Amino acid sequence: MKRRGDAALRIWRNRSRLLLAVFALIGCGLGARAFELQVLQHDFLLGQGQERQQRVVNVPAHRGMVLDRHGAPLAVSTPVDSVWADPRELLANKDAWPHLAKALSVARAELAARLAEASEREFVYLQRQVTPSEGARIAKLEIAGVHLQREYRRYYPSGEVLGHLLGFTDIDDRGQEGLELAFDAWLVGNPGQEHIVQDRRGQMIKRLQSVRVAQPGRDLTLSVDKRLQYLAYRELKAAVQRHGALSGSVIVLDVHSGEVLAMVNQPGFNPNDRGGFRKAALRNRAVTDVFEPGSTMKTFTVAAALEQGRVTPLTSIDTAPGRLRVGQHTVRDRHNLGVLSVSDILRKSSNVGASRLALAVTPEALWSIFSRAGFGQSSGSAFPGEASGSLAEHSRWREIEQATMGFGYGLSVTALQLVRAYAAIAAGGVLPEITFQKRTEPVEGERILSQRLAAALTQMLEGVTLEGGTGQRAAIPGYRVAGKTGTSKKSTAGGYSDDRYMALFVGFAPATAPRLAAVVVINEPGGEVYYGGQVAAPVFSKVIAGALRLLDVMPDDPRVFQASAGTVGDAS
């Protein structure tokens, strides 16, 4: 028995020693592993932990606001959230997909396809710029691998009213059209970076330090007066609808500073409705579209004849019998206007009279005054997509081309070029520098006409809006108005159309001390009413009358002029 007990004791002791040896070995292994982790791999593991808990994230910088000249906001960037995910983490969490798909309002199959496509990446957007309620709903789900990122979305309080002028930004808040594009470098901010601690779901729980402070974009104060913009928008839209026109534009300028106070087009678009954009409706027709200016160019033809000393405002020109043969071509007036003074050529808008004046001066003289007025070249506004129009060199003109140039055929202009040229007459012969930014200091433009010639042209243009003139519907009670009508046939394959027209009026007021110049362009008015004096002149009257009142400009004519309700009897 004793031997059997000793044997059992030895076995127990051996097993105990073995067990102690095993524990000692395990302890040594754990100690070695701990030493390795705590000492040898400390820096590596600390870095790996920090990579999972600490991140350097971008801090978005909001884009600068766009303001009107009185400080009213026209474009602002509002904070929104975008939903992103780590595909590898979310692919391992398929149970959450139905809830996430419902919150994102997408099909589960679509979500699965997007994650599978991005399976090798660490970042994929699930949805950009969600509403605050959608962001809160997604955050409440607490799905591992799904995160929210703060961004900014552009909002335009005036919608369609300023759509063409402002343009819009893309989803990353970078300018794509209009002034948003032209001044993108001014408006865009520089994002910052900061060190944060996040939980296992990737949500931030603590900010550690700022790496780089975000720099917001600079605010931009425009020359535009929102009140005048709304006024021009309302009147233009009503006119385009009333006459069944294809499109239209209105520009209002400060004649001395060259500031664009209003610029509108129809049809319009709402920059807030990104899903409803139609490419054809995005362009700012007032600066991108060119057309033959028709009778509005007669003013500069008269200026060339006066400048060369060929005529005076009272010189008589025989336009009978209402047509003029030039080579193999014939220039016609709508009616036989007989003998007209140079002033009456503008007042009655005689094509024959303008042609006789154009042919009486040298081609160089006519081309020179057109060129000095800014035709055939950019206005310098720097608006994206601005057209330069066309004005052929005088050395290439044939006799008939010189004659038709006299009444606005054979060259092309933009609405901005046309109103700028008339603003030069209003400013005493000084061509203003166009700007979309509010000016606080006066800027000297380029003198293109003598002050005496500009004054003579102003007096003659004032007659156009008086009784018997083609532009009497542009008159404004209490104010003296100077301007010119235009009705140009649109060119087609093989010649000019007999039923497609551009109806124009361009002018300024008050004539005795000009403050505002404006142009109205109505493209292809329908029906029997299509002359500039019938279609465009009334829009000018309403827009400038309202603008003068809003700007508290004193009347310069004590008489209350009632515009005639009769039809205009001439083609302009």
Q: List, by residue number, the catalytic residues.
A: 295
Q: Which helix (H) or strand (E) holds 442?
A: none
Is residue 128 within 8 Å of 170, Cβ to Cβ?
Answer: no
**Residue 36 DSSP label:** I
d(CA 484, CA 418): 11
Residue 299's closest CA among 445, 416, 454, 414? 454
Residue 232's closest CA among 536, 565, 526, 510? 536
Other CB atoms closer than 10 Å to residue 394's CB: what's the count? 18
Q: What is the dihedral of CA 369, 375, 379, 384, to 10 degrees?
A: -170
Contact residues for 236 (Cβ-Cβ < 8 A; gap 6+): 248, 249, 250, 264, 265, 266, 520, 539, 543
| Both structure tokens of 147 | 């995160």
Contact residues for 156 (Cβ-Cβ < 8 A; gap 6+): 74, 75, 162, 163, 166, 168, 270, 271, 272
The DSSP string of 297-341 is GHHHHHHHHHHTTS--TT-EEE-TTSEEEETTEEEE-SS---EEE
Residue 480's closest CA among 572, 533, 548, 534? 548
Q: Could you identify the residue written with the tokens 């044939």?
A: 398
d(CA 117, CA 271): 32
Task: Give the total residue count for the chain.
Answer: 572
| Both structure tokens of 527 | 């029906």
**Residue 536 DSSP label:** T
Residue type, 143: I
Residue 182's closest CA among 128, 260, 237? 260
d(CA 283, CA 177): 8
Query: 231-267 b/e with 16+ CB inside 10 Å = b?
Result: bbbebbbebbebbebebbbbbbbbbbbbbbbbbbbbb
| Both structure tokens of 312 | 């005076």
Tell me phi and psi for residue 300, to 5 degrees. -80, -25
| Both structure tokens of 370 | 């057109």
| Both structure tokens of 304 | 């060339």
Q: How far is CA 294 from the centre of its chain?
A: 27
E-strand spans in 395-445?
430-431
Tell me phi and psi for residue 118, to 5 degrees. -105, 20
Residue type, 214: A
Is residue 181 within 8 Å of 297, Cβ to Cβ?
Answer: no
d(CA 436, CA 284): 14
